[in-house]
Amino acid sequence: MKSLAERTDRRLLERLSDAEVVARVQAGEHALFELIMRRYNRRLFRIARSILRDDAEAEDAVQEAYVSACFKLNQFRGPEGFATWICHIATNAALMRRRSRARVGLTLVDAPGERPGNEAAMAELRSPPETPDAALHEYQLRCLLEQAIDGLPETYRSAFVMREVERMSVADTARCLGIEEATVKTRVHRARRLLQRDLTAELSAALTGAYEFAGARCDRIVTSVVQRLNELGFAD
Name the residue ranges covered by the structural domains of the chain. Answer: 11-231
Question: Can you tell me the distance from the alpha carbon of 62 to that of 222, in angstroms, rounded to the nearest whole number?
Answer: 10
* Cis-peptide, bond into residue 79, ω within 30° of zero: yes
Please report, for residues 4, 63, 134, 202, 203, the alpha-carbon distance to residue 44 in angstroms, rounded to integers and kept in the order given: 20, 10, 28, 26, 23
Question: Can you give the length of the chain in residues?
Answer: 236
What confidence score (pLDDT) does residue 126 get? 42
Q: What is the pLDDT of residues 137-187, one digit of tens each?
A: 677 777 778 888 898 998 899 999 999 989 999 999 999 999 999 999 999
What confidence score (pLDDT) does residue 6 get? 52
Question: Can you tell me the distance from the alpha carbon of 194 to that of 196, in angstroms, rounded to the nearest whole number?
Answer: 6
- Please provide residue 124's backbone torsions phi and psi, each rounded to the nearest 5 degrees: -100, 5
What confidence score (pLDDT) does residue 181 get? 96
Q: Please report the DSSP string for the chain in residue order.
A: ---GGG-TTHHHHTTS-HHHHHHHHHTT-GGGHHHHHHHHHHHHHHHHHHHH--HHHHHHHHHHHHHHHHTTGGG---SS-HHHHHHHHHHHHHHHHHHHHHHTT----PPTT-SPPHHHHHHT-SS--SSHHHHHHHHHHHHHHHHHHHTS-HHHHHHHIIIIIS---HHHHHHHHTS-HHHHHHHHHHHHHHHTTT--HHHHHTGGGTT---HHHHHHHHHHHHHHHHHTT---
Please report, for residues 14, 47, 48, 111, 193, the alpha-carbon distance to residue 100 in angstroms, rounded to integers and kept in the order given: 36, 18, 14, 19, 31
Dihedral, 166, 172, 177, 182 alpha carbons, nearest 10: 100
What confidence score (pLDDT) does residue 119 get? 36
Q: Which segments of the chain have a pLDDT < 70?
A: 1-8, 103-135, 137, 197-214, 235-236
